[in-house]
């Protein structure tokens, strides 16, 4: 069965195509700047990369082009080969506990969540509707970044603010990157042949979050009402004293949009280093002994260590810590910085293993004396979306 895994934004559409249940990725690509003057797309398949600039007025144009090119490039033989479409939806609020087959009610539900996911949900709906238009008979599935976190209990998802904010405005922790945390959980449970593990998953990319998981259920996570919360990130502040916000808005005469923009795009590592967002550049600068990079790295590490230690207590010890995403999978340096601060919990790295990761594989990197197993696992949100889509379609 050919399944498309789709991540649609307001002006982009990322896709991966899988043969399921073999989990074989047969192509992937990106349509960019949809609705803008200089739209373009790229498709990767086998060892080829195909790129083209073309006018794409909307998501329907992009989907039409995608299907046309898949047939032209002989990635599929006929439009009928596509049997399922899985769509990433960032905000599922407390409406969606798991992935679902899309119908009119689901579309309405995702739209009702626009106020909670204004930057992401409209793009997802554009993608869903475009496929509905071009492939009306193909089943479509919505996979939510938030749904894995719906098992978090009230005491962990409520904020200590007026109850009406929760009741009337839906202000609570939702958590994000859920598809990745779920993928990592499934992968380690399968690897260790044990569904009753206590796991701390560290998804450390440009956006970053950590989750505490027990018996495959999420107990807590660092992102919150929005992906701005939790640990310090490439350009996001993570948790700060909330009083800073009205104070600075008043002093600098900023409106809420400007403030939100600064906290999301000009804070985190970027703010402390005067402009470094990419972790590779931070490593270079740190190794040159540049003081801003040293401070940023200490801040970044400190916040991650604090959450790992906190989740270790919440879980009453942990069996496994997992590193994943751009930084977690690729930076032995970041992993070393973090784990070297956890020796009081008897967590230790095997430096040889940490420095010699086999890419694309599950790697154990803790030393024999470590009381907690430490792993590097490459995450794969697109595959998780394809798996959910396949399973829902087969069982519907
Ligand atoms: P996102 O999906 O949130 O954009 P990614 O998971 O792609 O993020 O991670 C991007 C981050 O991973 C960047 O900060 C990048 O510098 C970092 N990264 C990627 N490769 C390496 C590497 N080899 N060493 C250190 N950091 C890396």
* Chain centroid to CA 304: 17
Q: Would you say 175 and 146 are in contact if contact means Cβ atoms under 8 Å apart?
A: yes
Mutational pocket test of ligand 1: of 206, 275, 360, 378, the residue with most ligand atoms within 8 Å of the beta carbon: 206
From 114-128, 205-219, 285-299, the region with the lowest mean pLDDT: 114-128
User: 15: pLDDT confidence band, cut at 50, 70 and 90?
Assistant: very high
Q: Which pLDDT value is given to residue 37?
A: 84
Q: Is 154 exposed, middle or buried (0-12, 13-18, 19+ CB in 10 A)?
A: exposed
Is the overall model pTM greater than 0.85, yes or no? yes
Q: Would you say 392 and 101 are in contact if contact means Cβ atoms under 8 Å apart?
A: yes
Given a cut of 90, whether residue 119 has pLDDT beyond it is no
Mutational pocket test of ligand 1: of 264, 280, 300, 324, the residue with most ligand atoms within 8 Å of the beta carbon: 280
pLDDT tens, position by position, 132-152: 999 999 999 999 999 999 999
What rounded mean pLDDT belongs to the chain? Answer: 97
- Whose CA is closest to atom 23 on ligand 1? 330
> What's the rounded Cα separation, in Å, for the pair 278 and 11?
23
Mutational pocket test of ligand 1: of 323, 327, 332, 380, the residue with most ligand atoms within 8 Å of the beta carbon: 327
Ligand 1 atom closest to 208 (CA): 3
Helix axes 291-314, 279-287, angle to 10 degrees: 120
Interval between CA 139 and ligand 1 midpoint (Å):
33
Ligand 1 atom closest to 379 (CA): 6
> What's the rounded Cα separation, in Å, for the pair 25 and 44?
10
- Whose CA is closest to atom 24 on ligand 1? 331
Q: Quick check: is 241 catalytic?
A: no
Return the residue matching tokens 């690509």: 29
**E strands, the chain, in order:** 2-8, 13-19, 24-32, 40-45, 48-53, 82-89, 100-101, 139-144, 198-204, 208-214, 217-221, 320-324, 363-364, 373-376
Rounded to a whole number of angstroms, the distance between the first and last alpha carbons of the chain is 15
Q: Which pLDDT value is given to residue 32?
A: 95
Interval between CA 284 and ligand 1 midpoint (Å):
14
> Per-residue pLDDT averaged across 253-273, rounded?
97
**From the CB of residue 247, how many other CB atoms can be counted at a distance below 10 Å?**
11
Residues with CB under 6 A from ligand 1: 205-207, 234, 278-280, 283, 325-327, 330-331
> Per-residue pLDDT averaged across 307-311, rounded?
98
Q: Would you say 234 and 279 are in contact if contact means Cβ atoms under 8 Å apart?
A: yes
Q: In what order do the strands lie in the sheet with 24-32?
A: 48-53, 40-45, 24-32, 13-19, 2-8, 82-89, 139-144, 100-101
Q: Which pLDDT value is given to residue 237?
A: 98
Which residues, including other chains, have CB under 8 Å from residue 133's CB and lie 6 or more apart? 60, 63
Q: Quick one: CA dihedral 324, 269, 213, 163, positive or negative?
A: negative
Interval between CA 330 and ligand 1 midpoint (Å):
7
Interval between CA 212 and ligand 1 midpoint (Å):
22
Helix (H) or strand (E) holding 350: none
Ligand 1 atom closest to 283 (CA): 25
User: 48: pLDDT confidence band, cut at 50, 70 and 90?
Assistant: very high
> Per-residue pLDDT averaged across 262-277, rounded?
96
Interval between CA 278 and ligand 1 midpoint (Å):
7
Given a cut of 90, whether residue 371 has pLDDT beyond it is yes
Catalytic-role residue among 38, 61, 81, 145: 145
> Per-residue pLDDT averaged across 58-80, rounded?
94
pLDDT tens, position by position, 169-190: 999 999 999 999 999 999 999 9
State how far the alpha carbon of 204 is from the alpha carbons of 200, 222, 230, in Å. 12, 12, 12
Q: pLDDT above 90 covers what percent of the chain?
A: 98
Interval between CA 55 and ligand 1 midpoint (Å):
31
């Amino acid at each position: 069965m050919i399944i498309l895994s789709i991540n649609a934004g307001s002006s982009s559409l990322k896709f991966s195509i899988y043969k399921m249940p073999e989990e074989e990725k047969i192509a992937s690509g990106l349509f960019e700047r949809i609705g803008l003057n200089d739209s373009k797309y790229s498709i990767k398949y086998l060892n080829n990369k195909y790129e083209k600039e073309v006018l794409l007025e909307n998501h329907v144009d992009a989907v039409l082009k995608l299907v046309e090119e898949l047939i032209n490039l002989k990635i599929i033989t006929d439009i009928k080969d596509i049997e399922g479409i899985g769509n990433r939806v960032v905000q599922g609020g407390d409406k969606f506990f798991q992935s679902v087959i899309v119908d009119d009610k689901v579309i309405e539900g995702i739209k009702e969540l626009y106020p909670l996911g204004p930057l992401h949900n409209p793009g997802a709906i554009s993608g869903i509707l475009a496929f509905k238009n071009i492939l009306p008979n193909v089943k479509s599935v919505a996979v939510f970044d938030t749904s894995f976190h719906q098992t978090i209990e009230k005491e962990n998802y409520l904020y200590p603010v007026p109850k009406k904010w929760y009741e009337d405005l839906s202000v609570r922790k939702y958590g994000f990157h859920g598809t990745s945390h779920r993928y990592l959980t499934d992968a380690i449970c399968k690897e260790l042949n044990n569904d009753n593990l206590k796991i701390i998953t560290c998804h450390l990319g440009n956006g970053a979050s950590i989750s505490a998981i027990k018996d495959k259920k999420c107990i807590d996570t660092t992102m919150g009402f929005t992906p701005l919360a939790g640990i310090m990130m490439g350009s996001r502040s993570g948790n700060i004293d909330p009083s800073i916000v009205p104070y600075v808005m008043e002093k600098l005469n900023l409106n809420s949009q400007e403030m939100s923009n600064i906290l999301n795009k000009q804070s985190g590592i970027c703010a402390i280093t005067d402009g470094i967002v990419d972790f590779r550049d931070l490593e270079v600068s740190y190794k040159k002994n540049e003081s801003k990079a040293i401070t940023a790295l200490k801040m970044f590490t400190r916040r991650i260590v604090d959450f790992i230690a906190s989740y270790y207590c919440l879980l009453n010890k942990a069996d496994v810590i997992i590193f994943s995403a751009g930084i977690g999978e690729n930076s032995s340096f970041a992993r070393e910085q973090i784990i070297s601060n956890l020796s009081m919990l008897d967590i230790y790295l095997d430096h040889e293993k940490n420095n010699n990761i086999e890419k694309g594989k599950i790697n154990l990197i803790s030393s024999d004396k470590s009381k907690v197993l430490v792993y590097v696992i490459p995450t794969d949100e697109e595959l998780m979306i394809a798996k959910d889509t396949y399973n829902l379609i087969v069982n519907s």
